[in-house]
C-alpha cells in the first residue's frame, strides 16, 4: 500500500493536473468578488464559473502526458480525447442543464405567486461553463503544465 501511495505522490503529471485544477478553483474567488462584490468560499468547491477548473485539469493532464510521453504517443491521444470530451460536456451538456434549471426555477417562482403546495427547492443553475470560460481554463492548465515542466 505504501508503494502505491508513493507512486501516486511521485506522479508528476497527476500532481501538476491537480495543481491546475485547484488553481482554477482558487482564481474563482477574486473573480467572483470583483463580479458580485461578495466573498463566497463556496466557489472553492462548486462547479461552473470562471475559469473552468475541469478544463484546467484535463488541459494540464493532456499537456503533461504530451510532454512526458511524446506528442505522437497513444497516451497523449487518449488524454487529448478525454480532455475534449470533458470540455465539450462542461460547455455543452452542463451549460444546457444550467439553462434548463434557470427556466424551471423561473416557472416555480411564477407558480408560487398563486399560493400552490409544491416543493419549492431551487435547482442549481451554475452547472456548466461558457466556451470562453472553458478556453481560459484550458489555457491555464496548459500554462501550468508548461511552467512545471516534464519530469523525466
Total number of domains constituting the chain? 1
- pTM value? 0.76
* Structural domain boundaries enclosing 127: 2-148
pLDDT the model gives residue 3: 82
49 touches 132 (CB < 8 A): no
pLDDT the model gives residue 122: 55
Compute the C-alpha angle 107/111/113, nearest 5°. 125
Which of left, alpha, beta for 49 (phi over 0: left; psi -120 to 50: alpha)? left
Q: Block means of pLDDT (10 residues each) for the chain, length 152 residues?
A: 84 95 93 82 77 94 96 97 92 67 70 61 60 93 92 59
- Give the position of cell 501516486: 8
pLDDT the model gives residue 20: 97
pLDDT the model gives residue 67: 96
pLDDT the model gives residue 51: 92
Reported in sequence order, the residue ranges of the chain that DSSP labels E, i.e. its strands, are none
Three cell numbers, residue 52? 473552468
How far apart, in whole angstroms, are the C-alpha atoms of residue 3 and residue 10? 10
Q: What is the number of other CB atoms lying within 10 angstroms of the CB of residue 143? A: 16
Amino acid at each position: 500500500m505504501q508503494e502505491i501511495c508513493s507512486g501516486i505522490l511521485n506522479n508528476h503529471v497527476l500532481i501538476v493536473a491537480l495543481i491546475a485544477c485547484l488553481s482554477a478553483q482558487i482564481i474563482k474567488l477574486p473573480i467572483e468578488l470583483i463580479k458580485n462584490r461578495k466573498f463566497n468560499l463556496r466557489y472553492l468547491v462548486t462547479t461552473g464559473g470562471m475559469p473552468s477548473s475541469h478544463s484546467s485539469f484535463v488541459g494540464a493532464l493532456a499537456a503533461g502526458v504530451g510532454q512526458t510521453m511524446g506528442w505522437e504517443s497513444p497516451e497523449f491521444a487518449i488524454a487529448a480525447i478525454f480532455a475534449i470530451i470533458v470540455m465539450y460536456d462542461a460547455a455543452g451538456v452542463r451549460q444546457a442543464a444550467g439553462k434548463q434549471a434557470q427556466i424551471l426555477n423561473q416557472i416555480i417562482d411564477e407558480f408560487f405567486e398563486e399560493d400552490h403546495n409544491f416543493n419549492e427547492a431551487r435547482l442549481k443553475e451554475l452547472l456548466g461553463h461558457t466556451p470562453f470560460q472553458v478556453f481560459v481554463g484550458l489555457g491555464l492548465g496548459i500554462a501550468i503544465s508548461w511552467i512545471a515542466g516534464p519530469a523525466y
